[in-house]
Structure 1
């Protein structure tokens, strides 16, 4: 029952369509039909041309992840799996929000917010990988995809070290990489179009 509660709370918090509401109210723009159609901070900035709007979306979306992990941990059960289930479903809710026909963002900010509460090593790992691969091609999506894919694998190889440095530690070591990989899979599911574009561009260059 605790897992169901964490799932519901996380999904409801995560499904709040920050970018959609903010741009609709402030600019009269339906972000799902503009730019990339992505309901997140980057597209909000590109569509609105406002750094303030972009940063506001980024902060609120990150807060959704932090809040889902915090609330489920503090008020349902102080256990790693409860908190990360809350975060996982917050990311799913953000990526596939029922309030905007199951559209949404790519989940990166929401995942980062939850990682701040649960496990900073995951966030630091992703950021370091992103910086490395972004510097290679100067392409944000390339950095996102490769950093997320590698962040899916590396926790299986170094789970003991990452758990040791995390704020909340699981009862079983295998729980950590499994849940981290599930989060990364959800994020990758929202990068299908960027992945296709990267593959097409690489073929053209060949």
Structure 2
């Protein structure tokens, strides 16, 4: 009994470490630093207050700054996912913990008093370190939705919901075709669900505004 208990403790500790390290990397405030350098202002106090690529573009008027923020935020998500996979190739839970950690770090960075971004670019980057299904489903949905409404935030939210539905509804063999690592389809869908909840929570103010007709 002692050996399994010790193994369980060790596994739980590693999962917590993965979560913590993911948080640390995710909390690097790309948009805050670039906007501070470019415009000399605190991105949290202007525009939407969101510490992300779209608000960085809105505040600075620079597409290159916005694109750089999005690229870097996606890269830190991908880097965390791939690093966790490399450390424990057979342990999807550890990779999932690292991915959740990097999103939490991006959305609620300690250094910015827990006021960060919405986690979309970071989440998509991280999930490309597991497989391509979510990214393909999300991007495809977003392109259609944006073409219909010309509203970036609405397209972001609805594409997130539609791609989550696709993960659960699509045949498992089809989802597996897009995976780059061995992972149970239900476990993959469960991780996507957790990330979608975090994403929707980060958009709660925008969603409330739409429901009241304020946006």
User: Residue 177 of structure 1: which of 189, 202, 210 is its match?
Assistant: 189
User: 1:179 offset after TM fit, Å?
Assistant: 0.6
> Do structure 1's residue 193 and structure 2's residue 205 form an aligned pair?
yes
Match of 1:134 in 2: 146
User: Residue 80 of structure 1: which of 77, 86, 92 is its match?
Assistant: 92
Aligned positions of 1:1-206 closer than 5 A: 1-158=13-170, 160=172, 161-170=174-183, 172-201=184-213
User: 1:115 offset after TM fit, Å?
Assistant: 2.1
C-alpha separation between the residues in 2 aligned to 1:49 and 1:55? 11
Q: Which moved more, 1:83-92 or 1:157-166?
A: 157-166
Unmatched 5+ stretches in structure 1: none
CA contact (8 A) 2:16 2:97 kept: no
CA contact (8 A) 1:58 1:109 kept: yes
User: 1:162 offset after TM fit, Å?
Assistant: 1.1
Structure 1 pair 33/4, CA: closer, same or farther in 2 (3 Å)?
Answer: same
C-alpha separation between the residues in 1 aligned to 2:152 and 2:182? 31
Number of aligned residues: 202
Structure 1 counterpart SS, 2:18: helix
User: 1:201 offset after TM fit, Å?
Assistant: 2.7
Q: Which moved more, 1:95-104 or 1:151-160?
A: 151-160
Structure 2 counterpart SS, 1:174: helix
C-alpha separation between the residues in 2 aligned to 1:165 and 1:71? 20
CA contact (8 A) 2:175 2:185 kept: no
User: 1:195 offset after TM fit, Å?
Assistant: 1.0
CA contact (8 A) 2:53 2:67 kept: yes
Structure 1 pair 54/86, CA: closer, same or farther in 2 (3 Å)?
Answer: same
C-alpha separation between the residues in 1 aligned to 2:43 and 2:149? 27
Match of 2:4 in 1: none
CA radius of gyration, larger in: 2
User: 1:104 offset after TM fit, Å?
Assistant: 0.9
CA contact (8 A) 1:112 1:123 kept: yes
Structure 2 counterpart SS, 1:35: coil
User: 1:159 offset after TM fit, Å?
Assistant: 5.9
- Normalising by structure 1, what TM-score? 0.91
Q: What is the RMSD computed on CA atoms of the aligned residues?
A: 1.8
Unmatched 5+ stretches in structure 2: 1-12
